[in-house]
Amino acid sequence: MPDWLLAIILGVVEGLTEFIPVSSTGHLILAKTALGLTETRWDTFIVLIQLGAILSVVLLYFERLWRVVVRLPTDPTARAFALSVAIAFLPSAVLAVIFRRYIEAAFSNPQLICLTLIIGGVVLIILDRLKLEARHKDAMRFPVLTSVGIGLFQCLSLIPGVSRSGATIAGALLLGTDKRSAAEYSFFLAMPTMAGAFAYDLYKNIGSLDASAGLVIAIGFVVAFISALIVVRGFLGFVARHGFAPFAWWRIAVGTLGVIAALVFGGTLGG
């Protein structure tokens, strides 16, 4: 299969899964493994195209985000929002740096990803059925302690297959937000989180990227941007109507299929 077609496939997977609680990285690793992509350049590809998905949120929320930037010097509400995102971002960023080698090793284990997909799906089903009181309904006005708590929950996404958006949304709901604002805050928190991962991986691997690799990454980047744009536009309305249970069952189905595939192919997915 040509690299440009592989880039399109992985770009679609990234865009469709980045902002829903199913673990985009887990899906990308399973897709990469199923396609037999064992070269390390595809690991770099996976990280770099995630910025394409993040830019879709920047585009959709540009007016609100720009208003925050412009008002930072004079508006306490704007400063409080910026501070809340920064505080929520820090815990997982610090742990990712400290335990980088262990995390990278864990994310190379498709079987572990399948198991955490299943476990996370069960947790989402339970969470979706709980009658939780929603005290906070504006993602740009969460109290500082709520943001700290969401940031600590995001640390769970350092476990492969857990899902960054799933962890932050679950944490937000347990800390008293409604479903819509929990999802929106997850969007906002994704920006510094994924931008940091992008910058680090680009710095680490820029010397090994040639023109052909750059073209493949550009294709995946654009495809991830477009597909994520489609998902984000409809995600909040879908959650308001159906909750998170459909994503939970999807996680369980994908994880179960992955475990079956591992058994059929002698313990390794994709050969």
Task: Tokens for 251, please give them.
Answer: 């996680």
| Predicted confidence (pLDDT) at residue 203 exceeds the cutoff of 90 | no
pLDDT, tens digit, 9 for 90 and up, residues 230-250: 999 899 889 888 889 999 999
Give CA–CA dist 190/165, Å, rounded: 8
Strand partners, 177: 136
Q: Where are the domains of the chain?
A: 3-264
Higher pLDDT, 198 or 171: 171
pTM strictly above 0.85: yes
- Banded model confidence at residue 201, pLDDT cuts 50, 70, 90: confident
Coil, helix or strand at residue 101: helix
The torsion angles phi and psi of 68, rounded to 5 degrees, stand at: -65, -45
Those residues with Cβ within 8 angstroms of residue 3's Cβ, 6 or more apart along the chain or in another chain:
212, 216
Give CA–CA dist 56/11, Å, rounded: 13
Q: At what angle do helices 245-264 and 110-129 cross, to 10 degrees?
A: 160
Distances from the Cα of 40 to the Cαs of 36, 138, 205, in angstroms? 12, 41, 10
Task: Tokens for 41, please give them.
Answer: 């350049």
Q: At what angle do helices 245-264 and 24-34 cross, to 10 degrees?
A: 30
pLDDT, tens digit, 9 for 90 and up, residues 70-115: 999 999 999 999 999 999 999 999 999 999 888 888 888 888 999 9
- Banded model confidence at residue 271, pLDDT cuts 50, 70, 90: very low
> How many residues belong to the chain?
271
pLDDT, tens digit, 9 for 90 and up, residues 123-151: 999 988 888 889 999 999 999 999 999 99
| Predicted confidence (pLDDT) at residue 269 exceeds the cutoff of 80 | no
Coil, helix or strand at residue 124: helix
Percent of the chain past pLDDT 70, that is, above it, reads: 98
| Predicted confidence (pLDDT) at residue 270 exceeds the cutoff of 70 | no
Higher pLDDT, 212 or 144: 144
